[in-house]
Each structure stands twice: as structure tokens, then as C-alpha cells.
Amino acid sequence: MQKVKLNNGIEMPLMGFGVFQIPDPSECEKSVITAIEAGYRLIDTATLYQNEKAVGNAIKNSGIAREELFITTKLWIQDTGYQKTKKSFEQSLKKLQVDYLDLYLLHQQLGDYYGSWRAMEELYKEGKIRAIGISNFFPDRAIDLVVHNEITPAVNQIEVNPFYQRKETIEFHQNNNILVQSWASFAEGQKDIFNSKILSSIGAKYNKSIAQVVLRWLIQQNVAVIPKSVTPSRIFENNDIWDFVLSDEDMQAIVVLDTNKSVFFDHREPDTVKWLASLQYEE
Ligand SMILES: NC(=O)c1ccc[n+]([C@@H]2O[C@H](COP(=O)([O-])OP(=O)(O)OC[C@H]3O[C@@H](n4cnc5c(N)ncnc54)[C@H](OP(=O)(O)O)[C@@H]3O)[C@@H](O)[C@H]2O)c1
């Protein structure tokens, strides 16, 4: 498993396993255990996904030592603010049944995330979190957080996939020592990605699937990945990308798929902001 050094010196696996949209606790626990068997060591959840407890059960039952795993969760908008962040963090630890987190992310650039960041900086300094970061932050908000705070986020988890390639955004983060981690690397299957002629013809050259080509294309840009699947064969397939390297020509060929637009929604549209702010998880 390849690892990357974050800006505070700690190592994070480049490949992780995402658990968004696995609400059924037994399916979630089973999938995480399969992922750990397949060699994944990073698990990406969020308070909003309402499956931290199932992830915690999987960690406990996996037989793998806690220190060998890298656990990420995210603070939801309803918990932003200094006090609420401290409380939500403790609840996440409890649900995950762990006594520290490897990575804690601000899930959205919404609400009182400055208050949250101060709480996260404190928790980091107390040794309760190994790295703190952000998600869905656009470069203007990310740099504002950097210049007004002591600790620079280690990671920004954002949508990056062949249809939304974000070359300049990736460069911005690399220039500011913030690692980009891609969510929806497969665009959640939208735009018929798994039938793309360009991606399948590249895959044929290496005897690899479209999913494997996409993950390799991201890794070769130093972008970390967290593909999600509840299908055991796909869980294994997605982590079987360490024995080939895409040529420069193939990396370049993927550029034509870029639409320069999110496959889902623009996080900065007022209606999207209202909708995101209205989403609440249940305790
Ligand atoms: N920070 C954020 O705001 C944010 C937002 C979205 C996601 N995320 C994180 O990023 C992770 C990944 O993103 P995502 O779950 O949205 O979407 P994704 O990984 O792009 O796509 C998941 C979909 O692709 C299918 N799939 C997976 N591997 C495949 C393969 N090898 N061949 C064919 N189909 C395959 C899965 O099907 P099956 O499951 O049926 O096999 C599922 O329908 C999430 O789980 C979550 O941890 C974060």
C-alpha cells in the first residue's frame, strides 16, 4: 500500500475505502471488513453518513490493530462552532469505538467553520487527532483559512473525476502543501463512465478495468483516492492498481473527458447552500 506524507509529517495511505451511501449497518460492516481483507487501511466515513458505528464495529472485528488503520471522519454543518465541534468529535469517537482519529475534516465550507477549526486545532495539539483537514473547500476559502489560522489543513477532500478534472485547483493545493483527496472518482457511475470508450481502450492496453484506469490516473497526479463499493469483487479490483503505470500519452488522452463542471452540483449556488444547510443527521 503506497503512502503519502502529509504536511505535518504523518503518513496516509493513498488508497482508502469510502462508505458514503451504505446506510445498512450490516452491509457497511461487511464491506469494511472485506476492504480490510483486500488490503485497504484507510476508511473514510462522516457523521452525516450515519454509519460511524458500523465502521467502528468493523474495525473492532477486523482483527487488525488500530494503529495499522487510518480512520477519517467529518464534521457536519449542524455541528459547526467551537463547542459543538468538541461535542460532535467526542460522539464520533464513541460511535467509531476508538480513542483517537487519524484525520478529521470540516465537511463543508459552511456554518461557523472558523470556530470549528479552532476546536480542531486544539484537539490536534492534545494528540486526539493526527491530522486535520477540509472538504469541499474552494481555493479562495481554503487560502482564507490558511492565512487566518495557525495550522494549515493537511488534506482537502474534493470532487475530482474524469469529467471534473480541476487541474488548476489541484495545482493550487500542491503549491500550498495541501493534499487533494478525490471523492466520487467514478462520478458515482454517472455519465456512463463504466462504458467510456476512451477509458476502456486505455484499460485494454494494460489489461485493467475502467475503474482501475481512473484510480491510477488520479494517483499519478498525486491525488489520493477513496473509492466506494459494496461488491466484494470490485472492492478487490479497485485496490489492484499498484502493478501498472499509465503512460504520459494515456494520461493526456483522458483530458478530453473534462467538462470543467461538477457531475453533481455547484457547492456555491445559493440553492445548494440552502439544501446542504438543511441536511441533518439523526443521533
Ligand atoms: N466529502 C464529501 O463531500 C464526499 C462526497 C461524496 C463522497 N465522499 C467520499 O468519497 C467516497 C467515494 O465517492 P462515492 O461513493 O460518492 O462514489 P464513487 O466511488 O465515485 O462511486 C461509487 C459507485 O461506483 C460503483 N463502483 C465501484 N467500483 C466499481 C467498479 N470497479 N466497477 C464498476 N462499478 C464500481 C459502486 O457500486 P457498488 O457499490 O454497487 O459496487 C458505486 O455505485 C464516498 O464513499 C465517501 O467516502 C465524500
Q: What is the pLDDT of residues 229-258, one digit of tens each?
A: 999 999 999 999 999 999 999 999 999 999
pLDDT over 80 (residue 1): no
Active-site annotation holder among 40, 49, 104, 124: 49
Residue nearest ligand 1's atom 31 by CA: 234
| pLDDT of res. 238 | 98
pTM comes to 0.98
Neighbours of 169 (CB within 10 A): 18
Query: Distance of alpha carbon 222 from its chain centroid, rounded?
Result: 14
- The single residue listed with the C-alpha cell 491530522 is 131
Closest CA to 185 of 254, 277, 103, 282: 254
Alpha helices for 133-196 (secondary structure H): 139-147, 167-175
Closest CA to 162 of 199, 201, 209: 199
Strand-pairing partners, residue 93, are none
- Mind listing the pLDDT tens digit for each residue in 49-76? 999 999 999 999 999 999 999 999 999 9
Homologous superfamily, domain 3-278: NADP-dependent oxidoreductase domain (3.20.20.100)
Alpha helices for the chain (secondary structure H): 25-37, 52-61, 82-96, 113-125, 139-147, 167-175, 197-206, 210-219, 232-238, 248-253, 270-278
3-state secondary structure of 243: coil
Residue nearest ligand 1's atom 7 by CA: 183
| CA 124 to ligand 1 centroid distance, Å | 29
| CA 21 to ligand 1 centroid distance, Å | 8
Closest ligand 1 atom number to CA of residue 107: 1
% pLDDT > 90, the chain: 99
Closest ligand 1 atom number to CA of residue 227: 19
- Mind listing the pLDDT tens digit for each residue in 174-208? 999 999 999 999 999 999 999 999 999 999 999 99
| CA 142 to ligand 1 centroid distance, Å | 25
Q: Ligand 1 pocket by C-beta < 6 Å: which residues?
A: 18-21, 44, 135-136, 157, 183-189, 194, 209, 211, 226-231, 234, 237-238
Rounded-to-integer distance, Cα 144 and Cα 108, Å: 14
Please say whether the dihedral angle defined by the alpha carbons of residues 184, 190, 193 and 195, taken in this order, is positive or negative: positive
Q: Do the beta carbons of residue 194 and residue 186 sit within 8 Å?
A: yes
- The single residue listed with the C-alpha cell 449542524 is 78
| CA 118 to ligand 1 centroid distance, Å | 31
Neighbours of 22 (CB within 10 A): 22
Closest ligand 1 atom number to CA of residue 185: 20
| CA 59 to ligand 1 centroid distance, Å | 20
Instruction: For the chain, give every domain's residue range.
Output: 3-278
- Mind listing the pLDDT tens digit for each residue in 122-170? 999 999 999 999 999 999 999 999 999 999 999 999 999 999 999 999 9
Known catalytic membership, residue 164: no
Rounded-to-integer distance, Cα 122 and Cα 132, Å: 10
Closest ligand 1 atom number to CA of residue 182: 10
Residue nearest ligand 1's atom 48 by CA: 183
3-state secondary structure of 25: helix
The angle at the Cα of 112, spanning 108 to 115, to the nearest 5 degrees, equals 110
Q: Do the beta carbons of residue 89 and residue 98 sit within 8 Å?
A: no
Average pLDDT over residues 15-28: 97
